[in-house]
Amino acid sequence: MRDMPELPEVETVARGVHDRIHGEMIQGTWFSEKSEPFKTPASEMETALTGCRIDAVRRVGKHIVFDLTPSAKTAEDVDLQWLVHLGMTGRLLVSDVDVPVPAHTHGILQLSSGRELRFVDARRFGRMALHRQGFSGTGREPLEITVKEFRELFRGRKTSIKAALLNQKLLHGVGNIYADESLFRAGIRPRRAASRLTVKESARLHASLQAVLKSAIALGGSSVSDYVDAAGVRGFFQLKHRVYMRTGQPCLVCGSPIRRILVAGRGTHYCNQCQR
DNA sequence: ATACCGACCTGTCAGC
DNA sequence: TGCTGACAGGTCGGTA
């Protein structure tokens, strides 16, 4: 089981990084040669970030947003933000400078406390970028959307409900694990057409999605320090998930074997008895 | 416009 | 034992 940063994990990381480094100044930066995956060129990030104060670190969707105050304020940079997306394998570490830099480190912020914020990402699906207009994400926040708005997201969508849940332009923050888990808890098959959910079903899905995300955030809280300071999440997910990666194992509700199919190109896990 | 699919990238693991 | 290939998936860009 690998760590796959979705909303709860990103929330956990963002809170942990905020608690450790907010208020610090960025005294310098380093970015790896492999700058191709970066949305903003490394030289541009270097120039913009150096001298900034980190006011806050927070989550928007699956993005980690650093709210910055530049040293020499210009109108252009008043709302400067630094965005980090962890992709599949990205980690943010707060380390003392004498701690060896891990393999696959692609970005470092040198902080006024003498520590460093390090972005480590073996697979390089992660991204770093500057943003200047107030980043609000690509879609709606799953934890804030009302049940009525939630239902309206899927109106006219020919695609499956699972694909719709994963579509970051509709909701942002939901990934493969929480899509499967919330559909199981709502009793809805992943291949159901999004536009065909009944009012009751979309209400159940809204409730179960929020419940599972909140529950995972609560569990993630205890993993914050481990995650940020050291190696990574040691699979606190398995304790909670009921279908994800449980192919062939008995459903925890009815006992029938959990099935695995491909939906929207993703491994998708569900119970054929409990989900209709 | 919406929807779908392959590419990106490398660590892990099953199977020989 | 050691190697090979399939697999994992968030997002983006190309195509239907």
**Residue A276 located in a structural domain:** no
Catalytic residue (choose from A58, A157, A260, A266): A266
Strands A63-69 and A266-270: unpaired
CATH of the domain at A82: 3.20.190.10
- Protein residue closest via CA to C1' of B5: A265
Residues A41 and A81 in one domain: yes
Q: Kindly determine whether the C-beta of residue A191 is less than 7 Å away from any atom of nucleic acid strand B.
A: no
**Residue A142 located in a structural domain:** no
What domain count does chain A have? Answer: 2
The verdict on whether A123 is a catalytic residue reads: no
**Residue A85 located in a structural domain:** yes
Residues A36 and A115 in one domain: yes
Which pLDDT value is given to residue A5? 85
Residues of A (100-119) placing their beta carbon closer than 7 angstroms to any atom of strand B are 103-104
Which pLDDT value is given to residue A233? 44
**Through-space separation of residue A162 CA and nucleotide C11 C1' in angstroms:** 16
Residues A154 and A82 in one domain: no
DSSP conformation letters of A170-235: TBSS--HHHHHHHHHHHT--TTSBGGG--HHHHHHHHHHHHHHHHHHHHHHGGGHHHHHHSS----
CATH of the domain at A250: 1.10.8.50
* A265, amino acid identity: G
Which pLDDT value is given to residue A76? 63
Residues A111 and A163 in one domain: no
Q: Which of A172, A103, A164 is nearest to A142 (CA)?
A: A172
Residues A194 and A93 in one domain: no
Residues A77 and A157 in one domain: no
Which pLDDT value is given to residue A9? 87
- Protein residue closest via CA to C1' of B6: A265
Residues A154 and A265 in one domain: yes
Please give the C-alpha separations between residue A86 and each of A63, A92, A104, A117, A151, in angstroms, as whole numbers.
8, 8, 13, 14, 29
Residues A102 and A186 in one domain: no
Spatial distance between the Cα atoms of A171 and A162, rounded to a whole number of angstroms: 12
Q: Encode chain A (276 residues) as per-residue pLDDT tens digits.
A: 445 788 988 998 899 899 999 999 999 999 987 655 567 888 889 999 999 999 999 999 999 999 999 986 565 667 899 999 998 888 899 999 999 998 889 999 999 999 999 999 988 889 999 998 789 988 999 999 999 999 999 999 989 999 999 999 999 999 998 999 999 999 999 999 999 999 999 999 999 999 999 998 888 755 444 444 443 444 465 567 889 888 888 999 999 999 988 898 888 999 999 999
Q: Kindly determine whether the C-beta of residue A36 is less than 7 Å away from any atom of nucleic acid strand B.
A: yes
Spatial distance between the Cα atoms of A270 and A244, rounded to a whole number of angstroms: 8
CB A113 within 8 A of CB A254: no
The verdict on whether A6 is a catalytic residue reads: yes
Show which of A131, A161, A179 is a domain's final residue: A131
Residues A67 and A123 in one domain: yes
φ, ψ dihedrals at A77, nearest 5°? -105, 15
Which pLDDT value is given to residue A78? 74
Which pLDDT value is given to residue A39? 72
**Through-space separation of residue A166 CA and nucleotide B4 C1' in angstroms:** 14
**Residue A257 located in a structural domain:** yes
Residues A15 and A80 in one domain: yes
How wide is the angle at C-alpha A76 spanned by C-alphas A38 and A70, nearest 5°?
75
**Through-space separation of residue A206 CA and nucleotide B15 C1' in angstroms:** 43
Residues A126 and A155 in one domain: no
Which pLDDT value is given to residue A165? 95
Show which of A73, A99, A131 is a domain's final residue: A131
**Residue A2 located in a structural domain:** no
Parent domain of A22 = 7-131
Which pLDDT value is given to residue A36? 55
DSSP state of A114: S
The verdict on whether A37 is a catalytic residue reads: no
Show which of A96, A131, A166 is a domain's final residue: A131
**Residue A228 located in a structural domain:** yes
Residues A127 and A12 in one domain: yes
**Residue A87 located in a structural domain:** yes
**Residue A137 located in a structural domain:** no
Residue A98 CB-half CA count within 13 A: 0
Which pLDDT value is given to residue A232? 44
Sign of CA dihedral A235, A239, A179, A152: negative
